[in-house]
Structure 1
Amino acid sequence: DERIVAVEAGFIHALALTAEGKVFSWGAGGDGRLGHGTEDHQAEPKVVKMLEGKNIRSIAAGYESSLALTSEGRVLSWGRGALGQLGHGSCASELEPRFIEALKDQPISAITAGNKRSLALARDGAVLSWGDGAGGQLGHGDETHLQIPQRIRALAGLDIAQVVAGASHSFALTSDGVLYSWGAGQCGRLGHGNEEKQLVPKRVEALEGICIIAVAGGAFHSVAADEYGAVYGWGDGDGASLGLELHSDQLEPRRYPNNLRVAL
C-alpha cells in the first residue's frame, strides 16, 4: 500500500503524492493534464511514470494543468498550456511532465496553481508567476499573459514564507504573518474593502497587527487563520460560503465566532 502525503484537485482531475515521491493521477485526461502521454481519461489512480525516480516532494493542480516539484528544487509541468501556464515559453499543451527550463538555475521551495496560472516561491525568497495575467493575477502591474516565469518585483525584499493561488487571485504570506493579495477583486475576495482588481501585491490592511499563519483562496472567497487558531473569512457570501451566518459579500476579513479555532 502507498502512503499518501498530499492530494490536489483541478477542475476535473486529481493528483496524489506518496511518501516515497511517487505521483498518481486520475480523472479527465484532456490536454494531457494527467501526465500519462495521452489524453485518455483515467477512472482510477495511475502512477505518472515520467515522474518515477525524480523524488517529487510537492504537487499542484491547476484548472487543466499540473505541476510537480522535486527535492532538488526543479519544477515540472504538464497539461493545458493555452495561456502559458506551463512556463515553457509557448502556449502548447504537454502530454507528459516536462522540466521548466527557465527555472533550472532558480531552485524552488513551493509551488501553487490557480485556474490558468502558476506561482512558485524560490529558495532565495523570490515569488515568480506565469500564465493568465487577466485582472492582474500575476502581480506584475499589468494584465499581460506570460509564457515563462517572471519574478514579482513588488514582493522583492520581503521574507515570503507561503504563496497561495485562488481561482483568479493570489496571496503571499511573510514569515512574520503579514498577508498580501492581488488579482481579481470581485466580491471582495482580496480583502481590501472594495471589489477592484489589484495589479500588484497589496498588504491586507484589515489584518494589520494580526499574525496570519495560513491562508486559502477559493473561486470568489478567501479564508485565513492566525497564530492563535482564530479564523477569518471574506469575499463571496452567497450560499453562506463564508460560514459567518451571512449571505452578503464581505469586502474585508471578518473573524469567525470566538468558539471556532483551528489547529495548524
Structure 2
Amino acid sequence: MRWFGFGFNAFGQIYVHEKSTDGEYSYAVKVVSPAELTTSHVDRCSDHVDQIRATWSRRASLHLDRDCCVCLAGFGAVISNESCGVSLKESLGFTDAFISETHLTLAFLDRIESWDLQKEEETPSWSMEIKAHSESHGYPLNLPLVPGGYVGTKAPFYRPLSPQLKAKSLALSAEHAILLSASGAVYTWGLGSHGQLGHGDLTSEQEPRAVEALLGMPMSCVATGGWHSVCISDGGDLYVWGWNESGQLGLPSRGLMKSSVQQSSQQAGVPCHDARTSPNDEPQEGEKQEDVFISIQAFPALLDITPSCEIRTVSCGHRHTAAVTTTGDLYTWGWGDYGQLGHQTLTSSDEPQRVEFFSEQRMSVVDVVCGAWNTFASIVKEEVACS
C-alpha cells in the first residue's frame, strides 16, 4: 500500500534527504505538498507499509506481511530502527501497535508489551498476558483497547473498562477519550473544558458517559484530536464537537477570520486591531454583524462536507481534521501552519477542502492517519469518480 505524508517534518518523520558531504542527513521542517513515504533510510523490514501510527515527533510503519514488524521514523530513529529502544527483532510477529511520545505498545497473540522509546532496554517497561480473542470478546480488539480495558499513553498503562460497555474501538487524546460500543453508541470521558466530551457543557467526566445527542444513531467510527472529537454514522454522516479555535470542526472560526483580516490589512499597509479571540468583541473590518462564529461546540453538530459523497473514515490532529469519502477523495480543514492540510500552502481553513493533489494524480485515497501536526494518506492508483 502506498502512503503519502505532509505537514510537520522537523524530525524526518515524513522523509529525509540524502546524506550531505559532512555526513549529516537533512530534512525540511514543513512539507506542504504530499510526498510519498520512502523506505530507503528508515524502514528495514519491507517496502510494503500496511498501516501508519503517528505522534508529534515520530511515525511507526506497520508491516503486516511475512514476519510482521514495526519500523520507526522521526525523533531518535531517522537512521536506525534500534536507536529508539525497540529493535526490529523485538516487534516480529506483532498484530497491532500504538505509539505515544514516550512509548510504543505492541500487541501479540498472547501478550501486550509497552517499550520505553527513550531508553535502550532488552525488556519492555510493561507487559500483560492476554487470552486469545476467541476466549475473551469473540472479536478482535484494536489498540489501545485490550481485553477488559485499554492501554493509556502513560504509566500505569492498563486502565479497566466496564464489561457492560462492550467496547468496539477507542480513540485517546492527551486529556480525553472517546469510545465506540458494539451497538454503535458513543461514550466520552476526561477533560471537558473545551466541550470535547459532547455533553452540552464544559464539565469533565471521570467515567465513560454516553453522548445523549447521538443516541439512536449508530456510529461506525470515532476519532479525537487535541481538544475536539468526531464520529461517523452508519450512513456516512460526520459529527463534530469541541474546540474550534483553528477551524478544526469545519465550523466558522472568529480566530481565522481575524487572522485573515489582519493579513489583508498588513499587505495593504493598514494598521491592525488587536486580534485576541473573544465572543464579546465588536465585529472587525470584513466581519458582518450577522456572522455566527463558533469557538466551542459543546454538543455534536452535523458537518456536511460534500452532498454527493459519504464519509468512509476520519482522523484528527491536535488542531486539524482529515476525512476520506467513499469515492476516494481526501478533505482536510483546521490549522495549517505546517502544511498539514495538503493544499500546498501554510493557510488554515475552517471549511473542508478537497486535497487536489490526489485527484490530479488520479489517485484514490483509502485511509488517512493524522499526527499531531501532520497527515498521512494511503492511496491506490485509479481515477477518482467524485468531483
Separation in 2, partners of 1:156, 1:53: 32
1:210·1:226 contact (CA, 8 Å) conserved in 2?
A: yes
1:23·1:47 contact (CA, 8 Å) conserved in 2?
A: no
Aligned equivalent of 2:184: 125
2:194·2:296 contact (CA, 8 Å) conserved in 1?
A: yes
Pairing partner for 1:22 from 102, 107, 111: 111
2:189·2:197 contact (CA, 8 Å) conserved in 1?
A: yes
**Is residue 2:110 matched to residue 1:49?**
no
| Structure (1 or 2) with the greater strand fraction | 1
Matches of residues 98-247 of structure 1 in structure 2 within 5 Å? 98-100=159-161, 103-194=162-253, 196-247=295-346
User: For structure 1, which runs of at least 5 residues remain unmatched after alignment?
Assistant: 30-40, 61-67, 81-93
Pairing partner for 2:143 from 59, 79, 99: 59
User: For structure 2, which runs of at least 5 residues remain unmatched after alignment?
Assistant: 1-88, 134-139, 254-293, 368-387
**C-alpha deviation, 1:22, in angstroms:** 2.6
Separation in 2, partners of 1:45, 1:215: 35
2:223·2:316 contact (CA, 8 Å) conserved in 1?
A: yes
**C-alpha deviation, 1:10, in angstroms:** 1.9
Aligned equivalent of 1:37: none
Task: Please tell me the residue identity of whatever aligns with 1:243.
Answer: G
Separation in 2, partners of 1:204, 1:21: 41
Q: TM-score w.r.t. structure 1 length?
A: 0.77
Quick one: higher RCO (CA 8 Å, sep 6+), 1 or 2? 2
Kindly provide the CA deviation profile for residues 182-238 of structure 1, in whole angstroms up to 9, marking residues without a partner as x: 111121011123252110111112334421101110011111111111111101111
**Is residue 2:158 matched to residue 1:97?**
yes
1:165·1:171 contact (CA, 8 Å) conserved in 2?
A: yes
**C-alpha deviation, 1:173, in angstroms:** 0.3
Comparing 50-59 and 132-141, the one that deviates more: 50-59
Kindly provide the CA deviation profile for residues 10-34 of structure 1, in whole angstroms up to 9, marking residues without a partner as x: 232221223x1532212269xxxxx
Separation in 2, partners of 1:144, 1:202: 18
Q: CA RMSD in A?
A: 2.4
The structure having more radius of gyration, on CA atoms, is 2
Separation in 1, partners of 2:350, 2:159: 40
Kindly provide the CA deviation profile for residues 84-127 of structure 1, in whole angstroms up to 9, marking residues without a partner as x: xxxxxxxxxx6352422xx2222111111111111111112211
SS of residue matched to 1:8: strand
1:192·1:251 contact (CA, 8 Å) conserved in 2?
A: yes
Separation in 2, partners of 1:139, 1:191: 16
Separation in 2, partners of 1:249, 1:172: 22
Corresponding pairs, count = 227
2:213·2:299 contact (CA, 8 Å) conserved in 1?
A: yes
Task: Please tell me the residue identity of whatever aligns with 1:135.
Answer: H
